Each structure stands twice: as structure tokens, then as C-alpha cells.
Structure 1
Amino acid sequence: MINRILVVCTGNICRSPTAAHLLREALLGCDIAIGSAGLGALIGQPIDGAALATLECHGHRPQLHRARQLTAELAQEADLILTMEQGQVQGVIQRIPEVRGKIFLLGKWQGELEIPDPYRQGPEAFEHSYGLIERAVASWAGRLLLRR
């Protein structure tokens, strides 16, 4: 049974907080704890302004976010770890090899799709990443809800 999901990206200020928020909404009422972290987190920083604006443009009001670094404890507590890129899967495995069996791409169900980092790019890049994250989250949520 999956009770804890950890979403991982690089800085933990754009993609992973966006995906974590969308997963929380998609799995509302399922009692699944969803968090996020970064491999090179900008520790303590809020969600990027452009990522927040993109979420708000789509009618979302995410909870307060502060970036945090991926730790062995966070990874070990999670039942499922979702990353944005294959390199991040490898980065997690290199740091915390014992969690190998529970790491997948967020875009797994879209043909192992990687979600590009929009950081320091224009609104179009954030919108593109948001669309990919939204579709990937919907696929995961559908599968997770079937298992409950």
C-alpha cells in the first residue's frame, strides 16, 4: 500500500512542488502524504514565482512551500519516489541505493517521458512543464486510486 509519495526534482522550487500540489489535489481524501525535495535544493526558498503564477493561472492555490534537500530519511520513509528526469532517478540511487525499487519517472506512463526544467525561462516553458506534469499526475492518480 502506498501511503507516502515523495516528488523529487533539482532545486525543489518549480517542478516537484507543482507535481506535489497536483497529486495532493488528485488524491484528495485518500490519506496519502505527499511531499517534495530536491537533489540540489535551494533550501528554504518558496516555490518559484513563475511556477506559482502558472498554478494560479490554472485555478490552483498551493500550500506554503519551502524547498528542502533530499535526505536518506525522506527517501526511506516514502513508499513511492517520483522524479522528473532519468538523471534524477540515477542521482537518487547513487545517494540512497536501498530505495532503488521505489523510484520512477513522473512521466512513466507517458513512455518514460522526462519533464524539462523551466527554471529561469519564460512563461511558455513553465506552461509546457505544467501540462506535462498535469498529464503525468493524472496517470499516476488513476493507478493509485485503483489500488485503494
Structure 2
Amino acid sequence: MTKQFKILTVCTGNVCRSPQAEILLKDALPAEEIYVASAGTQALVGSHMPAMAQEAIGKANSDQHVGRQLTPEMIERSDLILGMAREHRRAVVELCPRARKRTFTLRELAMLVEVTPDRYVAEALNASPDAREKMISAIEAVRLSKNLLTTSLADEDLDIIDPYGATRDVYNTSYHQVAKATAAVASLLQRAAE
């Protein structure tokens, strides 16, 4: 059995954005090859997702999630860390500087996936027969494509809106940002897992 590729999604309280990303990635990716977890930089430890976050994602199992605090050990064990905003990416790197090259905001990685030429990804996938190594190589190929972003991004383009304590519309907007970005990331990792 090959070692699983491990993804960690991170937000502030670990009750809205990062658990939604976790659930969507788990649904889209093969569990035998990819492990997905989430945590918060200021987690509401033991708390469940708010009702509007559960409604937005529409998953029956979303009420089983409980918030947990981000630790350096979680970061060390992860092959890919996806912060929901720049502040989460920064917090991860401050806790574990060695994680810099495998830490992105979710929207940042999704944008990089979209601009990376297929041939770069194909070359990365051909580099190893092992699924986990293929995924690591694919993420690195995408990271190195950062210079292909032709439009300058506003800082807010890299962040998922924080819905906590906001209106239903904000929860829905936030969820749609999470869903769109996770779909792009999942498509990359699905190719590597084939």
C-alpha cells in the first residue's frame, strides 16, 4: 500500500470554510489514496458547523464535523496545505516555515491550476509511477507556473469570504467560492490519482 497523499484545509474557526473544503475534497477524491482533514488557526474546538454553513453545503454528514486547532504536527504530516485566506497561509508558514512551498490559499492554487499548461502537468505525472509522488510533482509543476498568471491579482482574489456570523447570502457566496476552487484543485489531483 502506498502512502496516502495528505491534504490539510485551514481557516480561522474550523467550522465554516475549511470543513466545507474538506468535505468537498473527500467527496471528489479517492479515499484510499488521499486523506483530507481540516483545522483552524483560532479554532472553535469541539464546535459544529453553523446551520447556514451546513445548509450551504447540503451534505448530511456536515453536522458530524467538530472544530479542531491547527498544530505544527498537522502541518508537518501534510503534503498540501490550503488556507482559506492569506492570513491562514501566513499562519501555517509561521508555525512551520518548511511548509512554504506546499502551502497556498485555496483560490490561489485553483487559479494556478487553471493557467498551468497541460503539458507541464503531464510531464510531472510521468515522473513517478507512485500516485502520491505524482500528486506532489503535479502540485510543484503548478506552483512553478505562478509567472503565467497574466493579470495582477487583487489580494481579495486570493481569499474565500469569511461567512461566520453573517447573513445567509454571505454563507452562500462563501460556499460557492469554496466549491469552485475545490473543483479545480480536485481535477488536478484526480488526474494524478488515475
Is TM (by shorter chain) over 0.5? yes
Task: Give the equivalent residue in structure 1 for 2:60.
Answer: 61
* Worse-superposed segment, 45-54 or 18-27: 45-54
1:11-35 Cα deviation digits (max 9, x unpaired): 0000000110011111145531100
Describe the SS at the equivalent of 2:8: strand
- Unaligned ranges ≥5, structure 2: 112-152
Describe the SS at the equivalent of 1:147: helix
Task: Give the equivalent residue in structure 2 for 1:3.
Answer: 5
Task: Give the equivalent residue in structure 2 for 1:92.
Answer: 92
Percent identity between the aligned chains? 35
Task: Give the equivalent residue in structure 2 for 1:106.
Answer: 106
**Relative contact order, higher structure (CA 8 A, sep 6+):** 1
CA contact (8 A) 2:7 2:36 kept: yes
- Measure how far apart 1:50 and its partner are: 1.3
CA contact (8 A) 2:4 2:35 kept: no
Within 5 A, what are the aligned runs for 1:104-143?
104-108=104-108, 109-110=110-111, 113-143=158-188
Describe the SS at the equivalent of 2:61: coil
- Measure how far apart 1:40 and its partner are: 0.4
Q: Which structure's CA Rg is the greater one?
A: 2
Structure 1 runs of 4+ with >3 Å offset: none
**TM-score between both structures, scaled by the size of structure 1:** 0.91
Give the whole-Å Cα distance in 2 for the aligned partners of 1:15 and 1:80.
Answer: 17
Give 1:42's aligned amino acid: L
- Unaligned ranges ≥5, structure 1: none
CA contact (8 A) 1:2 1:80 kept: no
CA contact (8 A) 2:10 2:81 kept: yes
Give the whole-Å Cα distance in 1 for the aligned partners of 2:11 and 2:31.
Answer: 25
Give the whole-Å Cα distance in 2 for the aligned partners of 1:79 and 1:23.
Answer: 14
Give the whole-Å Cα distance in 1 for the aligned partners of 2:61 and 2:8.
Answer: 16
Task: Give the equivalent residue in structure 1 for 2:146.
Answer: none
Q: CA RMSD in A?
A: 1.7
Number of residue equivalences: 145
More helix by share: 2
Give the whole-Å Cα distance in 1 for the aligned partners of 2:19 and 2:61.
Answer: 9
Task: Give the equivalent residue in structure 2 for 1:51.
Answer: 53
